[in-house]
Amino acid sequence: MDGPRRRADHHEVHAPPQPRRRRQIAVGCIPAQEEGQTTIDRCRTREADHRLSVSFSAFSQPPLRDLINDARDTPKLSLLLGAGTSIEAGLPSWSALIERLLVRAGTASGTLTTADEDGTNRWVAEAVRRDGYLGAAAIVEALAEDGQLGEWIPLDLYGERSPSDFFPGPIAQQLPRLVDAFGTDLEIFTTNYDDLAEQALRDDPVSPRQAAAYVGEHLGVGADVVQVRHLHGYAGRDGQAGTLVLSEADYQRMQQGASWQANQVGAALANSMFVFVGSSLADPNLLRYLYGEPPGNKPPRYAIFVRQDTYEPEVPDGVRKAREAAVRSRWGAVGVTVVFVDHYVEVAQALSEMARAKRLGESYVPLPDRAATWVTTVNDRLLGLAADETFQRAQSQIVTRLREALQAAVAAAERLEQRQWDETLALTLWLVDEPGEHLINRATTDRLHIDRATIEPVHIDEYARWVAVRAYCRGKILAESRETYASRWHFIRGLPLVIDDDEFGRIPVGCVTVTSMKRRDETMLNAIDDAVEAGFNRALRTAIYELLAQPFRH
């Protein structure tokens, strides 16, 4: 949600400017027990021993440790980015895109009417149930007139927005670091139509670089231009290129004779470490590339799969383990090592660790050790956890800084909107514990923690009641309404915190939550447009990162 998001229940997203008046924004707090009253029904039925827990220790254990070590040692690396890197930016999954196209094709052909919602839903459900998504795509192609399908795909991919309204998410944002580490020995493939990978490279705040979409033709570009190979065609902000592969017929045509896709992916599989990211490996052509290889020794291959959103809370843990064992065996037969991570935040972290290990070589320090040093230093030098006296003194100082951070964020939004906010907001700082298994409410903006023993860690779990925890798990901004009789806070937004510096590298260290006493349809936290929201988030995070850097200044 760092990129554009829809607000289906709030159509007037940008209120007109109002006459300037004295700002009346109050800075409050989010009492821990009140935020904890926000519940997700399915969370109540989840057994504690079935939780999928973020833990830094996974990064020093196989197979994740092996992925990082192989990246350090390999001379060449190839990445294949699947739909997961588009979904994290707010674009639809491949199946969701097919469903949108089914509706468009049915309406254009006169089979459906937009007023018949039940008929539309049944049309989509029956097409998918009877023919699968590839077959449903063939139905779309059959109903489209010449040239229409190429026009429809971008329309339903981006909806009412344009490609330039979407921004790279945490996974794509690791591509520049991998280019830094591997240089021209990195190849990037994608089955996505969008240009988020290219934008991540161009917009990198540390080392922006040129990037170009490759769809089979020779590109006369310089050696410093990173080429992103779009295996299924390209429909980015600068137009379309290549054939947009969607239907059964498209896949069959690619299998007739030698294609540039088969040649390049085959060469990469044979000559470099190959990592599938954000892909379910269900693509027919990817299966053909893997199963069609000759036997023999091969460079390392990995596929990173995410458990989050895969299992319902009531699914027994034994079912999950049995399925994962079968998945490992299936892909192990073609030389692919499956790496299961619990949450989306760990995918971007894995790519970051690969880049850091390659760049530092034998001096690379694993994430658990770096995180432990960072947390211990913050606990001692910023939070004052060693003694009650230092803890209470630190509380006063931190709360003052949090108030200043919130005021700075509101001021930034007011400048961009050219209007003043009249709203009571609150800010809470959550930080991770040393093993990376819990988030802890370390400070709020209008009360002080007095007794260290009363602060309870919250287990990091995708079904947690706490917005801060769920935002941390996804590595994305989350927002939700809250309607509980005991709370005066009605809307909450969680912004994940990730430090990234030379000393410690990239570490997900926590989350800040901002809460309003106004409801969703009243609060500026939901009404501001994307540019204003970005300014608010940037100012808030900048101030928080300054606070968190304080213990490390010499």
Which tens digits make up the pLDDT trace of 441-471?
Answer: 999 998 888 888 889 999 998 889 999 999 9
Contact between 382 and 509 under an 8 Å Cβ cutoff? The reply is: no
Same domain, 194 and 239: yes
217 vs 130, higher pLDDT: 130
**For residue 283, is pLDDT > 70?**
yes
Residue 219 located in a structural domain: yes
**For residue 16, is pLDDT > 70?**
no
Residue type at 224? D
pLDDT at position 485 is 65
Same domain, 477 and 342: no
Last residue of one domain, picked from the residues 364, 383, 412: 364
Q: Which CA distances in Å does 398 have to 108, 343, 446?
A: 59, 30, 11
Residue 512 located in a structural domain: yes
Last residue of one domain, picked from the residues 118, 145, 164: 164
Instruction: Kindly state the average pLDDT of the residues 39-58.
Output: 50
**For residue 334, is pLDDT > 50?**
yes
Count of alpha carbons within 13 Å of 354, Cβ hemisphere only? Answer: 33
Q: What is the pLDDT of residues 383-438, one digit of tens each?
A: 999 999 999 999 999 999 999 999 999 999 999 999 999 999 999 999 999 999 99
pLDDT at position 25 is 39
Last residue of one domain, picked from the residues 345, 364, 383: 364
Residue 136 located in a structural domain: yes
Nearest CA among 274, 226, 222 for reference residue 76: 274
Which CATH number does the domain housing residue 322 bear?
3.40.50.1220
pLDDT at position 35 is 35
Q: How far apart are CA 340 and CA 351, in angstroms?
A: 14
Q: Which CA distances in Å does 467 have to 345, 481, 508, 532?
A: 15, 10, 16, 22
- Confidence bin at 147 (pLDDT 50/70/90): confident
**For residue 41, is pLDDT > 50?**
no
Same domain, 82 and 119: no
Please give the sequence-ordered ranges of beta strands (E in DSSP) within 67-141, or none if there are none. 77-81
Domain that holds residue 391: 26-53+369-552
Q: Average per-residue pLDDT in the chain?
A: 88
Same domain, 375 and 315: no
Q: How far apart are CA 356 and CA 196, in angstroms?
A: 22
Residue 376 located in a structural domain: yes
State the total domains in the chain.
Answer: 3
> Model-level pTM?
0.88
280 vs 294, higher pLDDT: 280
Residue 416 located in a structural domain: yes
Same domain, 303 and 430: no
pLDDT at position 168 is 96
Q: What is the pLDDT of residues 60-73, one digit of tens each?
A: 999 999 999 999 99
